[in-house]
A and B are shown apart, each in its own frame.
Chain A
Amino acid sequence: MNAIRAKLTLYWPESPLQALQQGLKRALLPLIGLLMFLFVWHVGAQNINTSLGQFPGPVQVVEQARNLIAEHQRERTKEVAFYERQEKRNANKLAADPHAEVKIRPYTGKPTFFDQIGTSLVTVLAGFVMASLIAIPLGILVGLNGDLYAAANPLIQLFKPVSPLAWLPLVTMLVSALYVSDDPLFAKSFITSLVTVSLCCLWPTLINTAVGVSGISKDLQNVSQVLRLPWLTHVVKIVLPASVPMVFTGLRLSLGIAWMVLIAAEMLAQNPGLGKFVWDEFQNGSSNSLGRIMVAVLVIGLIGFLLDRIMLLLQRTLSWDKSATLR
């Protein structure tokens, strides 16, 4: 980044006025783009009528966002009240009879929009972590061994393009069949979403790790050979750091895919999360539904963007290769 800027100033020597213009331009252009989009959206929405009423414009969407926040707050006060009541009841019981059995029941209200966001985030991160835990070691093994690479490559190519929607029924049945326990730690729906997300997002990390590992320069391998580094030291000291930039490229792609896949999976499987929120609103079909769905769309986009930025920050702090272009 700095190098580029240095070059730019070389070609366009900046006067203070020019610098000001440049700064304004950099701040203004995205704003203009945003305003244009809002305008087109606003005008366009007024002219589209659906069976659920007029298509929501920016104004309705802001209104629905407010509603969703208010609903969430209402639900939270209810919850707090519920626990207060329960506590009071239990305290009274104990005061009357110190040996009384008190039960603490969890609050079972309807999950709000923000609860669904939380569920989705937890699911996507769990699925992504699981996929990474599988894909990175596997990628290293496959990258280190040419024969293994040749054996695994057709499988990778075959499964990589499979849509989550195709996996979902199989995964659902498998989870039902295999994940049986009287006191399950996790809900089945959570496991199903997690496995589907993992299956779909593991490929970019796997492929990029393998490519990074197998692409280690001959020179570095020679250094390792001359030093007679033991296998593990070789992997830890040479292979891993050398492939870190590629691994991160893979991880970022994977996280993006994981987020997209999750929404689709939740929608199709009726598993809790943002996808279910969208589907429920669609089924609900009130005049506000489309506006609320639009809020969800924007939030999904925003979260996807933030997740990518977080990965980028992580890459910046963890990778030795600071010159890697960060897009």
Chain B
Amino acid sequence: MMKAHLELSGVDIEFPTPKGPFKALQNVNLKIDQGEFVSLIGHSGCGKSTVLNIVAGLYQATRGGCLLDGREVTQPGPERAVVFQNHSLLPWLSAYENVELAVKQVFKGRKSKAEMKAWIEHNLELVHMSHALHKRPDEISGGMKQRVGIARALAMQPKVLLMDEPFGALDALTRAHLQDSLMEIQARLNNTVIMITHDVDEAVLLSDRIVMMTNGPAATVGEILHVDLPRPRDRIALADDAKYNRYRQAVLSFLYEKQRKVEDFQQHREKQSTAAAESEESAPAAKRASG
């Protein structure tokens, strides 16, 4: 059996709170192959960002852990670049300088000055930002900031690209545009991507697999949906595609029927185990503690 590129196994995490420890994740298991595009979807507060932060190394799992190419992740690092939810550009640096900071750090001693410059410009070109290289974050729009954030992450040539709701704060048009760019870039570079999203269409359009998370506390992977649509994908053609709509349907039903936001915990677990048995397209990723 081939070793997974990225593997989360038996991950638990507890946050200390004034009212005692809060168990946000319990027994999260997930294997991701090189070049795969995986979306994490689930209700707000279920623990998606926490999963991403564990992979990034910004949080430490209380139990279990994360392996990247067989090596345990213990701290953040540029081989797991993060595109943050709110772009997180340094406001005092221009788009170019923001990317430059990352490139200088990652390719220190490996690229010459001229090569670095070309590489920075190339990455900003990828996200169609060449026209505003020297603008500061407060001089460009929200969508442009997000693109610079993506360029910064891509420029680090990461093994895994982690994106926390990268398009969450954008209008529908800009979002569609950036989704297309992202698909194009991913097809070209074959990055491994984990992306958090709230948007069902976005998840189905972009992903190879959609990981659906149960509600917290003690959230875990509920179902995993393989999206078997040919690439390149075209959003307009897919709108009428029966398969596409079935995938959409499956995610929606997980979110709004099986994981209704407010419910009794016991009831929630019963529902989940029957649902998992019934669903034909889904494959429960891991045995739940009680499941």
Interface residues of A (CB under 8 A from B): 219-220, 222-223, 225-229, 233, 237-238, 241-242, 244, 320-321, 323
Contact of A225 among B76, B102, B136, B156 (CB under 8 A): B76
Interface string of B85-103 (1 = CB under 8 A from A): 0101011100000000110
CB distance A219 to B78 under 8 Å? no
Q: In the complex, what's the smallest C-beta–C-beta distance from B51 to chain A, in angstroms?
A: 15
Range of interface residues on B (Cβ < 8 Å): 20 to 34
Contact of B91 among A226, A233, A237, A320 (CB under 8 A): A320
With contacts A237-B101, A323-B138 known, is A226 near B80, CB below 8 A?
yes
- Interface of B: prevailing SS: loop
Is the C-beta of B82 less than 8 angstroms from some C-beta in chain A? yes
Tell me which of A219, A223, A228 has the highest count of chain B C-beta atoms within 10 A of its own C-beta. A223
Q: In the complex, what's the smallest C-beta–C-beta distance from A177 to chain B, in angstroms?
A: 46
Contact of B84 among A223, A242, A323 (CB under 8 A): A223
Contact of B86 among A219, A227, A241, A242 (CB under 8 A): A219
Give the nearest-CB partner of B136 in chain A: A320
Give the nearest-CB partner of A223 in chain B: B88
CB distance B77 to A222 under 8 Å? no
CB distance B76 to A219 under 8 Å? no
CB distance B86 to A321 under 8 Å? no
Tell me which of A219, A222, A226 has the highest count of chain B C-beta atoms within 10 A of its own C-beta. A226
Q: How far is the CA of A244 from the CA of B92 in the complex (A)?
A: 10
Is the C-beta of B24 less than 8 angstroms from some C-beta in chain A? no
Is the C-beta of B56 less than 8 angstroms from some C-beta in chain A? yes
Q: How far is the CA of A222 from the CA of B58 in the complex (A)?
A: 7
Q: In the complex, what's the smallest C-beta–C-beta distance from A213 to chain B, in angstroms?
A: 15
Q: How far is the CA of A225 from the CA of B81 in the complex (A)?
A: 10
Is the C-beta of B266 less than 8 angstroms from some C-beta in chain A? no
CB distance A226 to B90 under 8 Å? no
Is the C-beta of B286 less than 8 angstroms from some C-beta in chain A? no
Tell me which of B76, B81, B138 has the highest count of chain A C-beta atoms within 10 A of its own C-beta. B76
CB distance B86 to A226 under 8 Å? no
Q: How far is the CA of A201 from the CA of B178 in the complex (A)?
A: 51
Residues on A with C-beta less than 8 A from B138 are: 323
Residues on B with C-beta less than 8 A from A226 are: 56, 58, 76-78, 80-82
With contacts A227-B78, A237-B101, A323-B138 known, is A222 near B84, CB below 8 A?
yes
CB distance B101 to A321 under 8 Å? no
Is the C-beta of B267 less than 8 angstroms from some C-beta in chain A? no
Q: How far is the CA of A185 from the CA of B184 in the complex (A)?
A: 70
- List which B47-92 residues lie within 8 A (CB) of chain A: 56-58, 75-78, 80-82, 84, 86, 88, 90-92
Is the C-beta of B106 less than 8 angstroms from some C-beta in chain A? yes
CB distance A222 to B82 under 8 Å? yes
Give the nearest-CB partner of B138 in chain A: A323
Beyond the given A226-B80, A238-B90, could you list 18 further A-B residue pairs with CB under 8 A, ordered by the A residue number?
Answer: A219-B86, A219-B88, A222-B84, A222-B88, A225-B58, A225-B76, A226-B56, A226-B78, A227-B156, A228-B76, A233-B105, A241-B90, A241-B92, A242-B90, A242-B92, A320-B91, A320-B92, A321-B91
Q: In the complex, what's the smallest C-beta–C-beta distance from B52 to chain A, in angstroms?
A: 11
Tell me which of B56, B58, B90 has the highest count of chain A C-beta atoms within 10 A of its own C-beta. B90
Interface residues of B (CB under 8 A from A): 56-58, 75-78, 80-82, 84, 86, 88, 90-92, 101-102, 105-106, 136, 138, 156
Residues on A with C-beta less than 8 A from B92 are: 241-242, 244, 320-321
CB distance A228 to B105 under 8 Å? yes
Task: Give me 27 A-to-B residue pairs in the complex whose CB atoms sit less than 8 angstroms apart, sorted by A's number.
Answer: A219-B84, A219-B86, A220-B88, A220-B90, A222-B56, A222-B82, A222-B84, A223-B90, A225-B75, A226-B80, A226-B81, A227-B78, A227-B106, A228-B76, A228-B77, A228-B105, A233-B105, A237-B101, A238-B90, A241-B90, A241-B92, A242-B92, A244-B92, A320-B91, A321-B91, A321-B92, A323-B138
Q: In the complex, what's the smallest C-beta–C-beta distance from B94 to chain A, in angstroms?
A: 10
With contacts A219-B84, A222-B58, A222-B76 known, is A227 near B91, CB below 8 A?
no
Q: How far is the CA of A233 from the CA of B90 in the complex (A)?
A: 14
Q: How far is the CA of A8 from the CA of B199 in the complex (A)?
A: 40
Q: How far is the CA of A238 from the CA of B90 in the complex (A)?
A: 8
Give the nearest-CB partner of A238 in chain B: B90
Q: How far is the CA of A233 from the CA of B156 in the complex (A)?
A: 17
Residues on A with C-beta less than 8 A from B82 are: 222, 226
Q: How far is the CA of A227 from the CA of B92 in the complex (A)?
A: 17
Q: How far is the CA of A241 from the CA of B91 in the complex (A)?
A: 9
Residues on A with C-beta less than 8 A from B101 are: 227, 237
Residues on B with C-beta less than 8 A from A321 are: 91-92
Q: In the complex, what's the smallest C-beta–C-beta distance from A15 to chain B, in angstroms?
A: 33
Q: In the complex, what's the smallest C-beta–C-beta distance from A276 to chain B, in angstroms?
A: 44
Q: How far is the CA of A220 from the CA of B90 in the complex (A)?
A: 7
Give the nearest-CB partner of B106 in chain A: A227
Q: In the complex, what's the smallest C-beta–C-beta distance from A229 to chain B, in angstroms?
A: 6
Residues on A with C-beta less than 8 A from B156 are: 227
Q: In the complex, what's the smallest C-beta–C-beta distance from A158 to chain B, in angstroms?
A: 29
Q: How far is the CA of A303 from the CA of B45 in the complex (A)?
A: 56
Q: Which 10 A-B pairs have the closest CB atoms?
A: A320-B92, A219-B88, A225-B76, A241-B92, A226-B76, A227-B105, A223-B88, A226-B82, A228-B77, A227-B102
Q: How far is the CA of A223 from the CA of B77 in the complex (A)?
A: 10
Q: In the complex, what's the smallest C-beta–C-beta distance from A299 to chain B, in angstroms?
A: 38
Residues on B with C-beta less than 8 A from A241 are: 90, 92
Give the nearest-CB partner of A233 in chain B: B105
